[in-house]
Amino acid sequence: MTNPRQLAFIALRDVHKGAYADVALDRVLQKFNLADCDRRLLTELVYGSVRRQRTLDTLIDQFAKKKSHQQPPELRTILHLGFYQLRYQERIPASAAVNTTVQLAKENGFAGLTGFVNGLLRQYLRRVGGAEEEGSRGAGETGGQGDKGTQQIINPQSPAPNPQSPIPHFDPLQLPENPVERLAILHSFPDWIIQVWLEQLGFEETEQLCEWMNQSPTIDLRINPLCTSIDEVEAALQSVDILVRRIPHLPQALRFIGNTGSIQKLPGFKEGWWTVQDSSAQLVSHLLDPQPGEVIIDVCAAPGGKTTHIAELMADNGKIWACDRTSSRLRKLQENSQRLNLQSIQIYTGDSRHFNQFYNTADRVLLDAPCSGLGTMHRHADARWRQTPESVRELSVLQEELLTHTSSFVKAGGVLVYATCTLHPAENEEVISAFLAKSPDWQIESPRGVELPVSAYSTPQGWFKVWPHRQDMDGFFMVRLRKTNNSE
């Protein structure tokens, strides 16, 4: 089987039964040998349909007599695929999107409902206006200002409409007046996430953040300065027509431009010249600022991107204890450290909240805390649907426990860096404020006078926050804490 739409249906069916989107997709990709173009289409359809689930459900609610949750689950999945192609895939002709979706229904137990599927999608196209006859995209990506019925698209990032185009720029998606629900339906997020962002950013920037989170993620790499240079890696990649660009403030970072094919087959990967790591994650180790000869403890280390970066920054000279309670993820760390030819990393399996042997032993500790991942939802398509306000509260308790206990690992005068890839204050600012309130021997240290890449992202409060729509990288929070010399 090589039909990418049928394979997307299989993967999405598993997702709707509870599988993680990346696991379900990888399972299909491993089973079938697809051409690169089909792999890309399959990946786009799966991740896109999961990301846009709320918007797609709203379209079903709007155009069908039965609401989306009343539809047979597999038929709902098929309708998601159809609406996703019409609404978000401008390179797929509308006629092809409709016809292939009807075929999916026919081949997956809904032969008697092909007329319903066909009619529903064409009704959407009629509301857009003339698109089905022209074989072009269904509707604009982001919506407009009307409260009911047809709305004019006003996405400022879209190209100007072609005055000769027969397709009116109207969006049939009906949106409520309430700003939280409006953004949540239009950009496909739970209301509570939109509310958290609105409180921090306001409407305009929240919408920009939503748009950014719905983009396909970029891939960044971090060169290994112990065995190569950024110039050498650039040249090696360009020799096989792989384009990259440098990233401001990060001396080891390159970002891939366009398709890369298999990462493992690119020049320099097997030789340990570089590893994949998002730019924001690279900032964390720079904030820790490890020095040669020091003892460093990475208390939630797996899968090891920051651990190996720490080893590179300290010239692989010193001792790094890489701790994690998940042995399978620590194996990935071990593989990466061997590929990068790093010797200073020692692996320790277990829950850092229960370690006592590290008391007062570390010059620096990194707590890259387990979190809701709300800063990386573009990478994890289903994260927005898996997290809840309750799960965030549970995580904040875990984060406080980890911070309280692992701070005891730090010597007097030493440093602890707390970092998350979430943008929720309950997991970031509130955790740090609660810790400092009960820990008089700790204080925030802003690395003033020290030229660190992270300095460009500092806040008046002394911590560092990366907003994706501003800095074009994953959302991150990080803060450097110093243990005063008069600590016990």
Active site residues: 421
Q: How far apart are CA 484 and CA 470, in angstroms?
A: 34
Tokens standing for 189?
């997020």
Beta partners for residue 297, in sequence order: 321, 365
Could you give the C-alpha distances from 17 to 21, 22, 234, in angstroms and in order? 11, 14, 43
Q: How far apart are CA 173 and CA 186, in angstroms?
A: 8
CB 280 within 8 A of CB 379: no
The sign of the CA dihedral 342, 345, 346, 348 is negative
Tokens standing for 209?
């953040």
Q: Which element (helix H / strand E) includes 179?
A: helix 179-187
> Tokens 């970031």 correspond to what residue?
428
Q: Can the peptide bond before residue 303 be classed as cis, meaning omega within 30 degrees of 0?
A: yes
Q: How far apart are CA 119 and CA 124, in angstroms?
A: 9
Name the DSSP letter for residue 70: G
10 Å CB burial of residue 8 (0-12, 13-18, 19+) is buried
CB 229 within 8 A of CB 253: no
CB 318 within 8 A of CB 296: yes
Q: How far apart are CA 355 and CA 47, in angstroms?
A: 39
Q: How far apart are CA 270 and CA 266, in angstroms?
A: 8
Residue type, 148: K
Q: What is the DSSP pairing of strand 362-368 with strand 345-349?
A: unpaired
The sign of the CA dihedral 221, 224, 230, 235 is negative
Pinpoint the alpha helices (H) of 323-408.
Answer: 327-339, 383-386, 389-406
Q: How far apart are CA 366 and CA 40, in angstroms?
A: 36
Could you give the C-alpha distances from 454 to 62, 284, 301, 315, 393, in angstroms and in order? 46, 8, 20, 20, 28
SS3 348: strand
The sign of the CA dihedral 305, 306, 311, 312 is positive
